[in-house]
Amino acid sequence: MAIPVVNLADFTSGDPELKQAFVNQLGKAYEDVGFVAVKNHGIPDALIADLYKYVQQFFSLPSDEKKKYEVPGLAGQRGYTSFGKEHAKGSDAPDLKEFFQYGQIVEDNDPIKSEYPDNVKVTEVAGFNPTFEDAYRAFEVSGKALLQAIALYLGLDEHYFDQHIHNGNSILRAIHYPPITQEPKSAIRAEQHEDINLITLLVGASADGLQILTKQNEWVGVTSLPEQIVVNVGDMLQRLTNNKLKSTTHRVVNPSRDKWHTSRFSIPFFLHPKGEMSLACLESCIDANHPKAYPDATAGEYLDERLREIGLKK
């Protein structure tokens, strides 16, 4: 399935007509599909290439070396999470993946720093941490522009989200789906789920497998061109907009048997606000035909609830 393609350069061009056209395209895509491919997203190709190179080097380390970076009590929010720890909400089957998470770096004396654990420093792969930090910042810039466009589409001030995502609880997650070495119990590397956050920015997964569930209840594969990133709506934004913008169910399926020997790598950036942000449904998204669908909650409360549901938090 070719998902709608939008050009972020139109939004940042300074041309009011191009900017408005981008806002309309993005908003309509998020109402209808929940996923878009974004070109001219501003994340340099060389940075993406380095990110994948270092991620592949890390995951090729022996298990006991990787496990040094697994930090108990952090619910997987920083460092390494070993194979089979996470499962989708409502599923008991663990996903066939291991991952590494890198979080916010607070540099402006914001007291919120005390709420975030330190990032885990990988010593075996020299360029790993600086590349993750550079990529994290680049994703934040692109994500902020996309949220500004979403705010305009919703009739909010363009900078509505800015204060909420500054020093927000976003996560850059590097995922490795290892080769399949025996008949799997499931045909799914990552069971069907919706993302927790506001939006997810996914850069260049290394193999096919991502599928989304359409409104017709059919699973279709999602592809994007190498110079594009895929950006989807998460549950926090769906909740805030009282289901106006759609958090699409998606999954990662196993490759065909002739490709079982291959790994799949994927690096999503989960854009989260600060925990104190209210996710109470926007008044402008509530009417007689669309009564309020969710109780009030903060982003932090909702994240806690979801981390328990997927088995990362006890």
Is 314 a member of any domain?
no
- Residue 129, pLDDT score: 96
User: How confident is the model over 148-180, as pLDDT tens digits?
Assistant: 999 999 999 999 999 999 999 999 999 998 887
- The 3 state secondary structure assigned to 224-241 is CCCCCEEEEECHHHHHHC
- Residue 262, pLDDT score: 81
- Residue 82, pLDDT score: 87
Q: Which residues pair with 79 in a beta bridge?
A: 70, 101
> What's 223's domain CATH number?
2.60.120.330
Is 81 a member of any domain?
yes
- For 201, the domain range is 5-309
Query: Which residues lie below 8 Å from residue 107, measured CB to CB, with a gap of 6+?
Result: none
Is 114 a member of any domain?
yes
Give me the tens of pLDDT residue by residue for the chain, a chain 314 residues long: 668 899 999 999 999 999 999 999 999 999 988 889 999 999 999 999 999 999 999 999 999 999 999 998 877 789 999 886 656 566 666 667 899 999 999 999 999 999 999 999 999 999 999 999 999 999 999 999 999 999 999 999 999 999 999 999 999 999 998 887 777 666 566 678 889 999 999 986 545 778 888 878 888 888 767 788 999 999 999 999 999 999 989 888 887 778 788 888 889 999 999 999 999 999 999 999 999 999 999 999 999 888 787 666 66
118-126, Cβ contacts within 8 angstroms, sequence gap of 24 or more: 118/78, 119/78, 119/79, 120/69, 120/71, 120/78, 120/79, 120/80, 122/58, 122/69, 124/57, 124/58, 124/61, 124/65, 125/54, 125/57, 125/58, 125/61
Is 11 a member of any domain?
yes
Number of folded domains that form the chain? 1
- Residue 2, pLDDT score: 67
- Residue 263, pLDDT score: 82
Q: How is residue 201 written in tokens?
A: 């920015």
- Residue 206, pLDDT score: 45
Dist CA 269 CA 41 (whole Å): 13
Is 43 a member of any domain?
yes
Burial profile 150-187: b = 16 or more Cβ within 10 angstroms, e = fewer: bbbbbeeeeebbeebbbbbbbbbbbbbbeebeeeeeee
Is 293 a member of any domain?
yes
Largest CA distance in the chain: 58
What backbone torsions phi and psi does residue 193 show, to the nearest 5 degrees?
Answer: -165, 170
Query: Which residues lie below 8 Å from residue 90, measured CB to CB, with a gap of 6+?
Result: 309
